[in-house]
Each structure stands twice: as C-alpha cells, then as structure tokens.
Structure 1
Amino acid sequence: MNPPSPSPVSIHHMLHLWLFLFPVLCVAQTNITVGSSLTAANGNSSWLSPSREFAFGFRSLSNGNNAKDERLFLLSIWYNKIPSETVVWFANGDRPAPENSKLALTSNLGLVLTDPQGEELWKSENILGDVSRAIFNDTGNFVIFDSKSEKLWESFKDPRDTLLPSQTLGKNKLLFSRRSEEIFSRGKFQLRMLDSGDLVLNTINLLSNYANDAYSITQPAGDSNGSASSGKELVFSDSGSLFVSKENGGEVYLSQEKVPLASDFYLRVTLDFDGVLTQYYHPRNSSTDGSWSILWTQPENICSAVVSQGGIGVCGYNSICTLGEHNRPNYEEKQNHGSAEDIYTIVELKNTGFPPYNYAQLGPFSEDECRNSCLHDCMCAVAVHVDGTICKKKGLPLSNGIFQPKFNWKAMIKVPKSDLPLTPTNDSKFPIPGLKAKEKNPRTWILAGSLLLGTSVFVNILFIGASTLGFCVIYRKKPEKLNPRENLVETNLRCFTYQELFKATDGFKEELGRGAFGIVYKGLK
C-alpha cells in the first residue's frame, strides 16, 4: 500500500517548518538585524556578501601541523570563491573561540563574541549609540549602523594585517602582522601611519606595544617638513594602487609596478608575518585553481633592513637570515623548533646591570612581564628589571656588567638550553637553574684514610712526597682545558663553527687586515 500523498495544508506547513529550520548561515545576507547570531561549529558558519565573494564568520584554526583543529575557531573575513579561502580580517587572534562559542549583533555593544560559558572573548570597540543593523558588502567591509544610517563601526577602520581595495589607513592607525602563517595572534611587525604624515614599518617588543626604530620609511613631505606636503592617509584605491595622499592633494606611490585589472583579479596588500609588506593578486575566475602572485614587496631586503643592536635579520641574534625568492627571508634556525620556553632558560643575577645602552625600555612592567618579554623577543639577550617597575632590554654585544648591592636591579640573561654546560660548574656567582654539583663520594676518603693509618710513618712520608711531586709535574705539563660552554653566562657570546665562518666570509675571500689576534676577514650578511 502506497503512503498517502501529503495534503496542500500539510505541504504548506512543512514548507514553513523547512524555512524555519534552514540555517540562515548559508544565505547571502546584505542586512543583518539586531539579534542575529552565528555559532562556532564544524562546517560553514558565516554570513555572505551579496556577490558571495566574501564570507564573515567562523573558521577552524590550524593545530600547527597543517591540519585543522575542529575545537578552536577564528572569527574572520575571507575570500569565499577561491580554494585557499584567504583570511583578510580576524577578530580574536589572541583568544581563539572554543566550539559552540557565539557571535551576536547586539543593540548596545554591536558585535559580541562569547564562549560557551558566556565569557566575552571579543567585541566591536567604541560603539557610541544604539545599533540598528549591520551590512556586509562586496568590498569585504562589515559595517554597523545606527537608526539614522550613521556608521558606528566597520572592519575597514579596525584592520589587522591586510588592506583591500577602497580601504584607507588614517593617521595613528596601523596594520600588524600575525605570529606566523597559521597562528593569528599578534606578531612583531607593524605598518603605521604616523601623526607626522610619515608611513613606517617597524618591529615591536612583543607582550607590549613599544615600537622599535623603523626599518622602512615613506616621507611624503621629504625634507621640507611642510604641513601642506605631509601625508594625510594611506590609500588602497579601487584600481589597486597603493599611495600616501598628501594634505595638499598630492600622492606618493609605494610602487610603480603595473597593477592587473581589478575586474579580473582579486587584489590585497598584506603585512606578512615575516615583516615584508606585499601586494598580491589572484584570478577571479573560480574555475581556475590559481594561487596568489606577488606584484611587489617592501623592503627589498628584510634581512639587512631589520638590524638591531642584538643581531642581524628578522629573528635577531639567534638565527641567520638569508634572502629567498620574491625577497622573502629564509631562516636557518640554530635551535630545534619549539616554544621559547622549550628553547631558552633565564639565568638571574641580582643587583647587576649592563649600562648604558637599552634598545627598549618598558614600564610599568612587573618582573614576570619583563622576563617573558625578553624570552619571547628574539632580539633580546638580557632584560634588567629596575626598581620593580622598569624593564630595560638589551641586545648583543653587551657592555661590562656592574654589580652594585645598593641598587635594586635584577639582570635576566636569556641562554639557549642547548648551550648550557653538560656538567655542573662550581661557579657560585653564575649558578645554572636546575643543575646541582655532583657530590663527592665519602667512601673514597674513608678508604684512603684507612690505608694511610695502616702503614708506617716512613711509608706515609714517601707516599705523600711522591704524590705531591707527581701532582705538580702533571698539572705543569697539562694546562687546564676550559669548557667554552662553562663561561657562556659570563660572556654571553656565541660560538661559530668553522663551516659557518667559511660560509660567512665566502671562503675567507677578502682580507681586511692583520693584528695581534690574527687575520681579519670581511663577513657577509
């Protein structure tokens, strides 16, 4: 017997039920009303722009092994029609959202992201007024409006590491890099539009916002210092040109490369995790499995551009930076991969300082903040915590250390664990954490004493005399061999292998001079 066909009434009810249950997450929405929400879960959970070229929502984060971790999510905007689904904006890079976290558009705070327990992970800042609705448009910009259609917040004014066509970067605004390609927490590079009108690239001291000296500068005013010719904002035009617009209407372009047609290619400018500002282009045709191509980069040589007192290259004194394809840095890490805590340890010296040069002075900073800042900053060799509030960070080469009992100083020296002594040292001034001196076996002394007491006085005299003579002869003929690693904490110098020196000097090719300590050769970066 065939089942009864549904009546028109039941079809009508089923249609309403289906529309109610159908997830609005997959609908290309232009207007998002107050009360709308997204939930972090497996599969797509996003709002789409009208053309469906951009998506706004949750994406699974990488677990660090080029695989997705389905339990942690990133609230982000990405290209929806290309295989790579490249992320161009993200909210919670430093605080990944657990599964079942919720994003809601609220009337008083705008966008609010909370975890399953209701704890706030992120929100749209500086919302002044009552939220009426939001729009996600085809430029990739998410905009929140009030009832008078005035903008309260937009993702274009709260950028991360990427600019899209029609986006601008005003004075005192910045882009910041990611920690790595797959780790979206804040990295150590910035692109800043200064209040002076200059556009600069600089590194920062992680765990703080302290900006180091710029390694690339665009000065629209040149040497004139005139307010009319100074920079106003950085503009990424609809056609894909990137330039600094001047107060007097002039323009200073960052590149003279011919830009592909925006109608045929997606365009973006990204401050990559390695500190290189790059303009990319990608074919719009979704049927082609193309990849992002590089139009131009700045600076041309990041390895020579980022130079600190503590070393050369974007990773500081503990790595070698060489330039690869498309001006991207290649790293030859001297340590095994792992976290800073896995690679380094901190040796503390009380009442000790290393005047006079600091490449960064941070404060107010607690001792733990100072220690962690140096530990995670590859340009930092020593951090000195002063008077319980100031953190002075120093790179190599260090000056002579000063010990002053009356000063409230604590020097925290970062030492690679692989360079720690293989055997404990007896130097009480520089103890190595976690290492204890090997105790002498008391049974040896008991046995020696018993033998001496059990023999005659004459034999004992002969034995002691022979032992003393032999001791002097042996130690005069065999100078003490010093383990170079035992003095590592005192000198904080790095040892180089012959192969490294051979490579750095191009086979000892160019001799610069000779002195009392030997021959000096020209080294290559």
Structure 2
Amino acid sequence: MLKFALAFLQFLFTISSSTIIPLPSTLRASARNQSWSSPSSSFSLSFVPLTQSSFVLAITFNPGNVIVWSASDNGTGGAVVVDSDGMLNLLLNGDLRLVNGSGSIVWDSGTANRGVLHASIDDSGNFQLLNGDSFPVWSSFENPTDTLVPSQNFTVGKILRSGSYSLSLGRSGNLTLKWNDSVEYWRLGFNSSINENLSSPRFTLRSNGILIGLDPSFPTGMVNMAFSSDYGEGNDVFRFLRMDDDGNLRIYSTTGNGRTRNVTPTWAAVTDQCQVFGFCGVMGICSYRDSNPICGCPSQNFEPIDVNDGRKGCKRKVELEDCPGDVSMLQLKHTKFLTYPPEVSEQTFTVGIVACRSNCLQSDSCIASTLVAVGSGFCYMKTPGFVSGYQGEVLPSTSFVKVCGQAVPNPPLYKDTSGKDDESRLHVMVVVVLVLATLLALIAIVTGFWCWFYCGSEKSGYLSAKYELFDYASGAPMKFSYKELHQSTKGFSEKLGNGGFGAVYKGILSNRMAVAVKQLE
C-alpha cells in the first residue's frame, strides 16, 4: 500500500513538472517549428538543422539552441543524421524510433513492448519513457551522449563519447579520459590514497559550476572535484560538462539575454591541449602558434594524410618496407612521443641517448623512440601503430623517428640561441659603427657647404658680429669695426645730438638692439 502511495505521488509530481507526450506521437524534420518542450520551454526535443537537407534529433537548451543530447551511433558517438523527410515516431508499443526519409530505422530506444505508457520532458532537460507506475523505462539522462547538465548523475558504466575519445567512471571513483577506449591520458580521482572500490561513486555538475563527486562512504557525502572559473556567479548562467571531439573535457557557461547566448569554456581537464593523445592524428606532431595548438608532420620525409585537416595525421612519403637497408633516424629536439598507460610498462627502457637511438634503429619492432630527458635514463621505444607527438621549446625530451633514406628536417620552430651571444654582439657593434659613420659624414657635408657659402663673405662678418652680441648682452666690452658701425648707423645719417668730444648717432645692431654711437672729432 505504501509503495503504491509513493508511486502515485511520484506520478503526480512527474505530471505536474513535466510535459507529457502520449502514444502515439510524431516529430517531423520538415516541420521546423515542431518540438516537444519542457513546461518552461527551457529544453526541447526537436530536429536541429545541420544544412538545409540534413538534421539531427537533439535535446537543446533554450535560448541559444545548445545541444545537450542527440540520437547517436553507439559505436562512434557521432550524431545520427537524417534528411528532411526524417521522422521520430513514439509508437503504440512504446518504442521511440528515428527513421530516415527512405523509411530505414537509423536509431531506436529499444523499449518496444516494455510497458511504456507515455513520454515526458522536464525542466532539467531529461526526456523519459515512463511506464504505468511512472518509472522510467528509458531516459536521456541514463543514456548520455557527450554532455552532462546540472542534476544529471554520471555513474559507473556510463560513457560520454566524442569521436575517438571517451570519459568513463571506475569503481574506485576515478574519472578517466581515453583514446580509442585504450590509452588513458587523463585521470581525476577522489583521493590518490583510495585504491579500493567504492559502493556507488558518481559525479554531478552543480548549477553553480562545481563538479562534485559523491559516495555514501565519504564522511561529508561529497567531494568538490573541479571548479569553473565563474563558479557561483550569475543566476542566469547555464553550465554544462562536455566531452569535446578534440579529446578535452570542458565545463561551459552560457550567458546573455534573448535568443543569442555566449558559450564560453570555463574549465578544461587537460590544460595543455598537446598532451591529449592523438590530437594531431597518427605520426602527427602537436605544437603551439601563439597560444593555439597546431598540427604538423615530423619532417619533410612525411606528408599530411589530409592537407585540409592537419588533425588527420601524417604518413611517410616512402614506407619503411619499401626501403630495406636504407633506413636512418631523424632526430627531433624538444619533442616527445606521448606515452600513457597501458603503453608505459610495455615501452619503457632504461638506456642512454645513444642507445635510445641505435636500439630503435636496429629493432624491427620499433619505429620511433623518445629519451624522456637527458640524464633520466628513460627511453620510450614506440612500436608500429598509432604514434602521437608533442613539440615544445621547454620540453627536455629528444626523439628519433625511422625514415627512408636521408632525414630531411623541417625548418626549426624553435631556434637554439646557446653560444650565439658573441655573434649577436658583433652584429650590434657593426650596426652602431655604420650609424655613427653615416652621421659624421652628414655633419662633414653640411659643414663644407656652410663654409663654401659663408666663409670670407660680407655675410660672414655680419654673422660674426651678430653672434658676438651674445657676449655684448652679458655686459662684457665688445669691439666693432668702423665698417660695422657705419652699417648699423646707416652711414651716420640719423643724428641724435652733440656731446663732449663729438656727435652722437642712432644705430641698430644686427640683433635689432638700438644703440647710440659717438663719432669722435
């Protein structure tokens, strides 16, 4: 009786907080404005256009149409694409089925004849197929694709997948990022001392931007694991956790008003993108231009697999099997080939730099090697398969790659300036000497022209007197020639009066100073 009452209360709560979709119901890709929306319209299940003729079935957060779930291929994690005649059918038998315009089934929930009574979508973004007791037979929260939203639990057995990358949770409480479900390149755990399995570990992202881990065995019940850079800020910020196709796990925050919202990454699991295994594809080398990761090939002995997409990796222009007996080792400074579990235990050897190179050259099972750091003694011997590289100016590693014929290095990304100080100083001194010589030559030329025009001329004497007046103005006695006095008085033409010993005339000196000149009798 109590169980029935609880189930009935849960059913009433579900009815009141969710939009109910009855059986049967249909969504059509061609009906652009058709959707199944939550009560507040914060989330909608609809067809989202990729192009004018291709669509994906997705749950979106509104406004902004941020995709938080999509009908995806279980193998690749990629969204299933349908044409404009595609349909989503919620059948009478309880199955949710996505069909293409040709009528072929491209995705279904697998819930046929399992007692589904209706579907619902709530304001947390969860789409469910519910039975008569209002318990979920299938839900989007329990079948995530690449995204987690607040209040959605991530538990053992669930996987977020994007391309070759996946996020999973282990029994010990460790979140792990893997490439191709094998190479583990990142881990986040509750506590490094926890080696035992927990009873029911789970992770969830809170609406305030904090990623928390939970398990009944914890004293406080939960542990804060990661914080978005804007955690706790804004009441209108929608945050979500996404497994991106570049292999990184990020928290995003959406802000803004109206139909347009800004989506900004506010936390990343791998802070150095080049540390993501396989980011630049097989034999690709990841490096940075400014702060942006870029992909290239190890040397000119290689070429891109796809010239339009550096992330597809590189291939040898001549394969090793096509040049027996003509193999050499290309040396790559400041470069390492990423080596993570389980490869570490299989590919690590303790040798010096010479042996790290020569042992790989002589071994048919080695195609590249990396000395972790000079003096460390650790050498990774990379076997044929997927090899992923990272080149950076601060990396202490040196790597070697087998190539056919002579190794043809790329132009250096990072110049080695050691031992170049004297040469740099010499270049600076040469430039300084050339500049000084040029200035002296210009001064000599100007002085020559000045002397040629003015020296020995009447203007020269006039200017000489003019500059000597600086001393005259200071009160010191000055000596003027009769010619200068004759010029300044205009030939003694303006008489001011007579005084003792002679007449006094008005004069104007070269600096326009008025003076009285007495002509002695």
Pair 1:330–1:40, CA change in 2 (3 A): same
CA deviation profile, 1:93-137 (whole Å, cap 9, x unmatched): 354112211111124353101122321100114667221111111
Match of residue 496 from structure 1: 409
Of 68, 80, 100 in structure 1, the residue corresponding to residue 62 of structure 2 is: 80
Pair 1:307–1:35, CA change in 2 (3 A): closer
CA deviation profile, 1:188-210 (whole Å, cap 9, x unmatched): 11111123321111211xxxxx4
Q: Answer yes or no: is 1:158 the counterpart of 2:143.
A: yes
Of 12, 15, 22 in structure 2, the residue corresponding to residue 33 of structure 1 is: 22
Match of residue 48 from structure 2: 59
Pair 1:307–1:190, CA change in 2 (3 A): closer
Contact 2:63-2:261 at 8 Å conserved across structures: no
Match of residue 401 from structure 1: 364
Q: Answer yes or no: is 1:222 the counterpart of 2:192.
A: yes
Q: Answer yes or no: is 1:70 the counterpart of 2:52.
A: yes
Pair 1:95–1:258, CA change in 2 (3 A): closer
Contact 2:207-2:239 at 8 Å conserved across structures: no
Stretches of structure 2 that go unaligned for 5 or more consecutive residues are 1-16, 73-77, 298-302, 325-336, 340-356, 366-382, 388-400, 421-521
Of 273, 282, 290 in structure 2, the residue corresponding to residue 302 of structure 1 is: 273
Q: CA offset at residue 245 of structure 1?
A: 1.3
Stretches of structure 1 that go unaligned for 5 or more consecutive residues are 1-27, 62-68, 178-186, 205-209, 353-377, 381-395, 403-410, 416-487, 512-525
CA deviation profile, 1:386-424 (whole Å, cap 9, x unmatched): xxxxxxxxxx9787338xxxxxxxx99999xxxxxxxxx
Match of residue 329 from structure 1: 293
Of 117, 132, 152 in structure 1, the residue corresponding to residue 117 of structure 2 is: 132
Equivalent-residue separation in structure 1 for 2:273 and 2:312 (angstroms): 26
TM-score by length of 2: 0.54
Q: CA offset at residue 253 of structure 1?
A: 2.5
Q: CA offset at residue 300 of structure 1?
A: 1.3
Q: Residue type matched to 2:36 in 1?
A: W
Q: Answer yes or no: is 1:97 the counterpart of 2:66.
A: no
Contact 1:198-1:231 at 8 Å conserved across structures: no
Q: Answer yes or no: is 1:271 the counterpart of 2:240.
A: no
Q: CA offset at residue 175 of structure 1?
A: 0.8
Q: CA offset at residue 144 of structure 1?
A: 0.9
Q: CA offset at residue 244 of structure 1?
A: 1.7
Match of residue 318 from structure 1: 284
Of 216, 230, 244 in structure 1, the residue corresponding to residue 213 of structure 2 is: 244
SS of the equivalent of 1:70 reads coil
Equivalent-residue separation in structure 2 for 1:316 and 1:508 (angstroms): 31
Choose 1 or 2 for highest CA Rg: 2
Match of residue 300 from structure 2: none
Contact 1:107-1:130 at 8 Å conserved across structures: no
Q: Answer yes or no: is 1:254 the counterpart of 2:254.
A: no
Contact 1:314-1:321 at 8 Å conserved across structures: no
Match of residue 167 from structure 1: 152
Equivalent-residue separation in structure 1 for 2:239 and 2:22 (angstroms): 30
Q: CA offset at residue 46 of structure 1?
A: 2.1
**Cα RMSD (Å):** 4.0
SS of the equivalent of 2:283 reads helix
CA deviation profile, 1:284-309 (whole Å, cap 9, x unmatched): 5327x441123221111121x3357x
Match of residue 427 from structure 1: none
Q: CA offset at residue 231 of structure 1?
A: 6.9
Contact 2:148-2:242 at 8 Å conserved across structures: yes
Q: Residue type matched to 2:156 in 1?
A: K
Q: CA offset at residue 163 of structure 1?
A: 0.8
Contact 1:39-1:102 at 8 Å conserved across structures: yes
Q: Residue type matched to 1:58 in 2?
A: F
Equivalent-residue separation in structure 2 for 1:103 and 1:414 (angstroms): 39
Q: CA offset at residue 317 of structure 1?
A: 2.3
Of 507, 514, 523 in structure 1, the residue corresponding to residue 416 of structure 2 is: 507
Equivalent-residue separation in structure 2 for 1:197 and 1:41 (angstroms): 44
* Aligned positions, number: 326
Equivalent-residue separation in structure 2 for 1:197 and 1:401 (angstroms): 40
Q: CA offset at residue 89 of structure 1?
A: 1.1
Contact 1:347-1:413 at 8 Å conserved across structures: no
Q: CA offset at residue 273 of structure 1?
A: 1.6
Match of residue 398 from structure 2: none
Aligned pairs for 1:329-478 within 5 A: 329-332=293-296, 335=304, 336-337=307-308, 400-401=363-364
Pair 1:242–1:115, CA change in 2 (3 A): same
CA deviation profile, 1:257-295 (whole Å, cap 9, x unmatched): 4514463111111122212211111225327x4411232
Equivalent-residue separation in structure 2 for 1:319 and 1:342 (angstroms): 8
More deviation in 241-250 or 112-121? 241-250
Contact 1:109-1:124 at 8 Å conserved across structures: no
Pair 1:343–1:323, CA change in 2 (3 A): closer
Equivalent-residue separation in structure 1 for 2:102 and 2:363 (angstroms): 53
More deviation in 240-249 or 152-161? 240-249
Match of residue 351 from structure 2: none
Contact 2:287-2:294 at 8 Å conserved across structures: yes
